[in-house]
Structure 1
Amino acid sequence: MDQVNVGLTRAAVWTGDGIDMWDIEIPTLEPEDLLVRVDLATVCGSDLHTVSGRRNGACPSVLGHEAVGHVVAVGDATSIAAVGDRIVWSVTVSCGRCDRCISGFTAKCSAVRKVGHESATSAWTLSGSYARHIVLPHGTAVARVPHSMPDAVAAPAACATATVMAALDAAGALESKRVLIVGAGMLGITAAAAGAERGATVRVLDRDPERQRLCRAFGADEDDGAQTDVAIDFSGSSSAVQAALGRLDIGGRLVLAGSVAPGPPITVDPEAVVRNWLTVTGIHNYEPRHLHQAVAFLRDTGEKYPWESLVEAPVPLAELASVLRPTPSGILRSSVAP
C-alpha cells in the first residue's frame, strides 16, 4: 500500500450554528480507498440550502462535493487511480451489489453514501471537500482531469456538469430539436452549452435578467415563448415546471432535475399527455459515465465557452463561512482553496 504517514489534516466542519475548524486524523486506508489532497472546491447550491436550513443533513459534517484534487495515497488493490493523478470524484458512493446497482441505478444504491453529506462523527470523517484532504472509499467513481484544465473549470464537473450530462441523457437525441432550459444557474448555463453542442436550438428562462443574458455566451438564444420539443427544469419551482409542461409540443419531453425539495404539486392532464404523446421524467444525481462525459465536455469546449469566469476567486479554507451565501449575478460558484 502506498500510504502517507498518518497525521492530521484540517477541515471546515458545519456544526449547525456555523463553521468550526477541526484537526482530523488521516486514517489508514482500506483496500481500494483513495486519499486526495483537495486543490479547489466549489460551493454548490445544495450546501447553501443546508446552511440556510432549507435542507436537512448530517451535523456535524464536512460539506462540499464539487472539487478537484490530486491522489496522495492509495489503499491495497486500488486500480482506479494512482498517486499523482489529478481527479474529480462522484457525489455518490455505491455498493455495486444491490438490485439497484446491478440494474444501473448506482446513484440510488440501497446503501448509498454521499460525499459531503455524512456525519463527521462517523467512521467516514473525511467525507467532504471542504478540507485539505478527503478519503474516497471503494465505490466512488473518479475521472482523471487533464492538467491543462483550470481548477475552476474542473471542480464543477463533479456535480453540476455531470448532473447536466444525466439530464441530457434523459432528454434523448437533441439534434435539430427546440430545447427550453428553465433556471440559469450553473446547471442551466452548462445545459445550454451542452444542448447547443448537440445541435439543438436552446432557449433559457430565468427570473434573473442578468443570468438570462449570460446564457447568450453559452450558446442560448433569447426565449420567444414558443412551444418546445424538450424542456429541462433546474429551477425546482413548481410554477416554472407547470409552465414548462404547458409549452411542450407534440411528442415533447419534460425532464425534471431541480425538484429536490418538497414543493407544491403540479397539475398533469392525463388526456393531454395521451393525445400529445408527452413524456415526463426525472433524474437525481448521476451515473459514473456521466462524470467521464462531464470531464470530456469541459475539455472539448474549454476554448469555446468562458467556464472559468463563472467561478469566483477562491478564499482560504478558514474563510469558508464567508462564501456560504448566494453569489452575485454573473458569478455562479464561490470557491475555496484548502
Structure 2
Amino acid sequence: MMHTVARLSEADVLVKPSPVAMVWNEPDRPLEALAVPGIHLSAGEALVEIELATVCGSDVHTVLGHRSASTPLVLGHEQVGRVVALGPDAVRSDGSSLELGDRVVWSVTVSCGECDRCVRGLTQKCRSLAKYGHERVHRGWELSGGFATHVQLRAGTATVRIDEGVPAAVAAPASCATATAVAALDAASDRVDLAGAVVLVTGGGMIGLSAAAIAVEAGAIVVVSEPDAGRRAFARRFGAHAVDPRARVGAPDRLDAVLAALTGGGAAGAAPVGMPRDAPREVLVAVEASGTSAGVRTAVSTVGTGGVVVLVGSVAGGTELCVDPESIVRRMLTVTGVHNYAATHLERAVAFLERSWRILPLDELVGPTHALAMLDLALAEAASGEHIRVGVAPGRRAAT
C-alpha cells in the first residue's frame, strides 16, 4: 500500500491512507487496528514507514500473559523502516542530521541523555525511560510500536542508518537481538580478550545465535548449547560448535565431551599431548541467552578461573537459583547482567550485519512473514517455538 505524506505545518503531518497500528489489550483477545490520521512531530522526532518488523520473544511473553504490560499497547520493537517526515533537528545516533528517505533501525529505548544514569552511560536505564513496543497507547504517541505501518520516533532515540542492500529480514532484528548480543559480548570483553578464548553460549535463539556469530568473527572458539537440532545446525553454519544439553553421558555432542576436545579437559598444568602449548585451557566467557535456570547453572558452573558470565536471557521473574559463593570467589568469576543496550552497541550491530549478511545465513533466521492484518497469526506462530523469528510486513496484503 502506497502512503502519501503531506505537511500541514512545520510540525503537523497528514498521511494518506492513515497510518495503522495493531493494538493489544489482553491475552486471548484479537488485536485491534487503530487508525492515526494526523501526526504532530516535535523537535528531534521523525516518522518512519515500516518495511518489516520481527516478533521478539518478549512480545510473545506479553501476549501470553507471562509478563505485565500497560494496555492498550502497540507491541513490536524489532523493525527496519524509512524516514518519511521529520521534525526540527532530528538527528542520527552519531549526531548527523536525519534525512528524508534514510533507511533506519532504532533503539528499543528513548532516553533523556541528561539524568545520572544517562551520564554514567546507562541510557537504557534512563530515569525517564520510554520503550518502543512497551508503552500504553496515549494521544500524541499512538504509533509507539513496530507492529504498525508507521512508527513515530521520539527525541532521545538512537537512530542508525542501514545500507540499502541489507535484506529487511537481516536488518530488523538489529534493534533488539543483534544489538543486545553486541552488548553482552562487550561486557565480557571488558575482562577477557575474545580472540582465541573459548566462549560458551547457552540458548540458540536470536540473541544466542547472534552472539555466537559475532564472537566467531572476533576470533573466539564458540560452543552453543541448544536442545533444538535445527538451531544447532544454524550455530554450526555460523562457525560455532554445537552441543545438545539433553545428550546422554558419553555422547559426542555432549558439552563436557566437546569442551574436553577443545581444551584438553581444562585442567591446569602442561598442555595435553598433541595440543599446542597456547591452546585454550578452559571456558572464559559464557553468554546465557536461554533464560532457563538450567542454562544459568551451566554457564556459572562451566566458566573457568578469571572468566565472565553474562546473563542476558533472564528477563522473566520466577527463576531462583542456589549458587555457591565460595566457588565464585575461588574462581574469581565475574557475573554480570545485560539488559538492552547503548547507542554504540546498535551502531556496531548494524556494522556487523552490513559486512556479514552476504556470507552468513542471517536472513534464514526469520521464518514466515505475514501481513500486518494477520498479526494474531504471526504471534501464534512465534509462540509455537518452531521459528527463531516470524516477520510482519505492513506493505503485504492479507490472504483472502
TM-score by length of 1: 0.96
Aligned partner of residue 82 in structure 2, secondary structure: strand
Contact 1:2–1:73 at 8 Å: present in 2 too? no
SS of the equivalent of 1:141 reads strand
Following TM superposition, by how much is the alpha carbon of 1:326 offset from its aligned partner in structure 2, in angstroms?
A: 4.6
1:14–1:62 contact (8 Å) kept in structure 2: yes
Cα deviation for residue 329 of structure 1 reads: 6.9
- Residues of 2 paired with 1:331 and 1:171: CA distance? 28
The equivalent position to 1:41 in structure 2, one of 53, 66, 88, is 53
Does the CA contact (< 8 Å) of 1:182 and 1:204 recur in 2?
yes
Larger Rg: 2
How far apart, in 1, do the equivalents of 2:63 and 2:128 lie?
25
CA contact (8 A) 1:244 1:254 kept: yes
1:130 maps to 147
Secondary structure of 2:51's partner? Answer: strand
Moved more, 220-229 or 180-189: 220-229
Q: Is the Cα–Cα contact under 8 Å of residues 211 and 330 in structure 1 kept in the other structure?
A: no
Equivalent residues of 2:200, 2:222 under 8 A apart:
yes
Q: Deviations over 1:289-332 (max 9, x none)?
A: 01110100011111211111111242111001101035477731
Q: How does 1:69-218 map to 2 (within 5 A)?
A: 69-80=81-92, 81-172=98-189, 173-218=193-238
Offset, 1:144:
0.2
Could you say which residue in structure 1 is the equivalent of 2:389? 333
Using the TM superposition, give the Cα deviation of residue 6 of structure 1 relative to its aligned residue in structure 2, in angstroms: 5.5
Once residues 261 and 123 of structure 1 are traced to their aligned partners in structure 2, the CA distance between those partners, rounded to angstroms, is: 30
Q: 1:165 and 1:258 mapped to 2: Cα distance?
A: 14
Question: Quick one: which amino acid aligns to residue 331 of structure 1?
Answer: H
CA contact (8 A) 2:287 2:311 kept: yes
The letter for the 2-side match of 1:72 is: V
Unaligned runs of 5+ in 1: none
Identity of aligned residues (%): 46
Deviation at 1:55, TM superposition (A): 1.2
Q: Encode CA deviations 1:162-211: one digit per residue, 9 max, x unaligned.
A: 00000000111201100000000011111111110001000000122222
Structure 1 residue 23, shift from structure 2 partner: 1.1
| Distance in 2 between residues matched to 1:278 and 1:251, nearest whole Å | 5
Structure 1 residues 185-243: Cα deviation after superposition (integer angstroms, max 9, x where no partner): 01111111111000100000012222222211111113442351111101111122012
Residue 342 (structure 2) aligns with: 287
For 1:321, the equivalent position in structure 2 comes to 376
Partner of 1:174, secondary structure, is coil
Indicate conservation of the 8 Å contact 1:210/1:330, yes or no: no
Q: Secondary structure at the match of 1:121?
A: coil
Separation of aligned partners in 2, 1:315 and 1:263? 33
In 2 relative to 1, CA 19–137 (structure 1 residues): closer, same or farther, beyond 3 Å?
A: same
- Distance in 2 (CA, whole Å) between partners of 1:279 and 1:252 is 6
> For residue 268 of structure 2, what is the aligned residue in structure 1?
none
Counterpart of 1:10, as a letter, is V
Q: Spell out, residue by residue over 1:24-54, the C-alpha distance to the aligned partner (whole angstroms, 9 max, x if none).
A: 2332110110000011101100000010011
Distance between the aligned counterparts of 2:11 and 2:25, measured in 1? 33
Residues of 1 paired with 2:140 and 2:151: CA distance? 13
Normalised TM-score (structure 2): 0.81
Please tell me the residue identity of whatever aligns with 1:131: A
SS at match of 1:167: helix
Say if 1:131 and 1:329 are closer, same or farther in 2 by CA, change over 3 A.
closer
Code of the residue aligned with 2:19 in structure 1: it is T
Offset of 1:250 from its aligned partner?
1.2
Greater mean alpha carbon deviation, residues 5-14 or residues 155-164: 5-14
* Contact persistence 2:14–2:37 (CA under 8 A): no
What 5-or-longer segments of structure 2 have no aligned partner? Answer: 1-9, 93-97, 244-254, 260-281, 395-400
Tell me the secondary structure at the aligned position of residue 180 of structure 2: helix
2:66 is equivalent to residue 57 of structure 1: no
Q: 1:56 to 1:29 in 2, by over 3 A?
A: same
What amino acid is the match of 1:337? A
What secondary structure sits across from 2:352 in the alignment? helix
Partner of 2:290: 235
> Counterpart of 2:335 in 1: which secondary structure?
strand
Q: Which amino acid aligns with 2:335?
A: V
Residues 266-275 or 25-34, more deviating: 266-275
Greater shift, 243-252 or 146-155, is seen at: 243-252
**What CA distance in whole angstroms lies between the structure 1 residues aligned with 2:91 and 2:209?**
34
Question: Amino acid of the residue matched to residue 313 of structure 2?
Answer: G
**Deviation of the 1:244 alpha carbon:** 1.5
